[in-house]
Structure 1
Amino acid sequence: MRILFLISFMMLTSFTVNAQAQKAVIKTTITCDHCKECETCGQLFEKKLIRQKGVQMVALNEKEMTITVFFNAKKTDLPTIRTAISQLGYDADDVE
């Protein structure tokens, strides 16, 4: 009975965590053709942005020149994420 209760509790909490995550696709300008591997581009996005409060996952798409960010809207918002990207030296939609 305890195991059933524990499993039920874990399932309910995992659904609420997923419900809070929001996705944002941010247009940027990428000047090199190897950004995902480059320490100054792709790895920089992943290392620095993931440390932002509320950011859960970051994905860089070189071909479309976009950064997809999954974040918790209760802990951060889109303007804060755009500002963090611009502080790394990249455009973030209309924020430079």
Structure 2
Amino acid sequence: MKKLMFLFLLAPAVLMAGPKVKIKIRTSAICEMCKERIEKNLTLSKGVKRAELDLNDKVVTVTYDVSKTTFEAVKKAITEVGYDADEAVADAKGYEKLPSCCKKK
């Protein structure tokens, strides 16, 4: 009975979720602190389901719900925290808040 009730309550949330898209964005991330900052900021962004940054190639893979956010909004979230996102340059205020080890040399 509990399982049936759980499925009944969970079904509307699953059905209301929009289609998911996976994108890759090149960043200016340098270290583990950059990785943590970008992933945390993205996962707190509306519609973002998952974010994983590979420091070897400096590319963040983001899975998001297209009914809740856009590609441009995801890139903006990265730039606002102080990192470049593809051709979009990091926001100056966000960049200034970064620790010195996370700034471009």
**Residues 21-57 of structure 1: CA deviation (Å, up to 9, x unaligned):** 1101001122x3xx23x2xx11111221111100000
Q: 1:15 to 1:52 in 2, by over 3 A?
A: closer
On the 8 A contact 2:35/2:55 being kept in 1, the answer is no
1:94 counterpart residue number: 87
**Alignment TM-score, normalising by the size of structure 1:** 0.72
Corresponding pairs, count: 89
What is the identity, as a one-letter code, of the residue corresponding to 1:25?
K
Structure (1/2) with the larger helix percentage: 2
Q: 1:55 to 1:48 in 2, by over 3 A?
A: same
On the 8 A contact 2:28/2:58 being kept in 1, the answer is yes
Q: 1:24 to 1:17 in 2, by over 3 A?
A: farther
Which has the higher mean CA deviation after the structures are superposed, 12-21 or 74-83?
Answer: 12-21
Q: Give the gaps of 5 or more residues in structure 2.
A: 90-105
2:62 counterpart residue number: 69
**Alignment TM-score, normalising by the size of structure 2:** 0.66
C-alpha RMSD of the superposition = 2.6
2:44 counterpart residue number: 51
1:81 counterpart residue number: 74
On the 8 A contact 2:42/2:48 being kept in 1, the answer is yes
Aligned to 2:23, what secondary structure does the other structure show?
strand
Aligned to 1:26, what secondary structure does the other structure show?
strand
Aligned to 2:62, what secondary structure does the other structure show?
strand
